[in-house]
Structure 1
Amino acid sequence: MGVRPAFPATAGKKEMKRGNVVWVNLTDTFPPEMGKMRPGIIISNTDHNGILETVVIIPLSSRAPEIWPLRVRIAVGTKKPSFAIIPGLRQVSKARLHEVIGIASEETTESLFAAATAYLSD
């Protein structure tokens, strides 16, 4: 059994669209998984997001790239520079989602898909 989020989720009541940048409660993880409350970008299909109880996100970090191109620098309106952590791609319950803090451009979304495809392919 999982642990209930320590923060009240508010995003589950809103439409979660591909490209939305949201606060995600990623507590209850095991190293080296990305943890704590952090921004994440939703990459799953908007239509599926409206039906399913989960979304697929890529967590964001303010730490500089360690392994390029597995960390993609993106501009999404956060206070610090943000890097999408491609290996952190994961499905999360909408109960882990909080407010929308930005929206990624079409160009940013396409670059994340290209990086994820490169990461997941042979």
Structure 2
Amino acid sequence: MRRGDIYWVDLEPALGAEANKIRPAVVVSNDAANRAAGRGGRGVVTIVPITSNTAKVYPFQVLLPAKDCGLGADSKAQAEQVRTVAAARLRARIGGLPPAVLKQLDEALRVHLSL
């Protein structure tokens, strides 16, 4: 798994307004950490959940065109929902972000985290 890859991720159990269910998410942790997490599936990976609700895209979110990212519908990455999960929660790889879109996600993370 690599930074910018999109996987199906099992986010249950969730609490309150956390993104839930099995949904696509973008891997945002660095590639060295991702390689370590992938060995044996016992590590952790930082992800940004994706939703197909694109009615409003805030500065801490990024529009993901389906045709460019391997998704079934235009969607958005929700940097405000960034979290670290066990690598075992990742299912199948379904796509990836082009470099320009990953750069936009980096900026959305900076906005959300005030970096």
- Do both share a fold (TM > 0.5)? yes
- Classify the secondary structure of the residue corresponding to 1:57: strand
The percentage of counterpart residues that share the same residue type is: 31
The equivalent residue for 1:70 is 60
Q: Is the 8 A contact 1:65 1:71 kept in 2?
A: no
Partner AA of 2:86 in structure 1? S
TM-align CA RMSD: 1.3
1:72, 1:84 within 8 Å by CA — same for their partners in 2? yes
- Where structure 1 has 5 or more consecutive residues not aligned to the other structure, the ranges are 1-15
* CA distances 1:82-110 after superposition (whole Å, capped 9, x unpaired): 10011110001011000100011111111
**Is the CA contact 2:48–2:77 (under 8 Å) kept in the aligned structure 1?**
yes
Question: How many angstroms does 1:74 deviate by?
Answer: 1.2
Structure with greater helix share of residues = 2
Residue type of the alignment partner of 2:52: S
SS at match of 2:105: helix
- What runs of 5+ residues in structure 2 fail to find an aligned partner? 38-42
**1:1-122 alignment, distance < 5 Å:** 16-52=1-37, 53-66=43-56, 68-75=58-65, 76-121=69-114
Contact residue 22 and residue 101 of structure 1 kept, 8 A:
yes
Amino acid at match of 2:61: R
Aligned partners of 1:65 and 1:83 also within 8 Å: no
**AA matched with 2:99:** E
Count the aligned residue pairs.
Answer: 107
What's the offset of the Cα at 1:69?
A: 1.3
Deviates more, 1:48-57 or 1:30-39: 48-57
**What SS is found at the alignment partner of 2:2?**
coil
Q: Which position in structure 1 is the counterpart of 2:40?
A: none
SS in 2 for 1:48: helix
TM-score by length of 1: 0.82
Deviation at 1:67, TM superposition (A): 5.5
The normalised TM-score by structure 2 is 0.87
Query: Shift of the alpha carbon at 1:65?
Result: 4.4
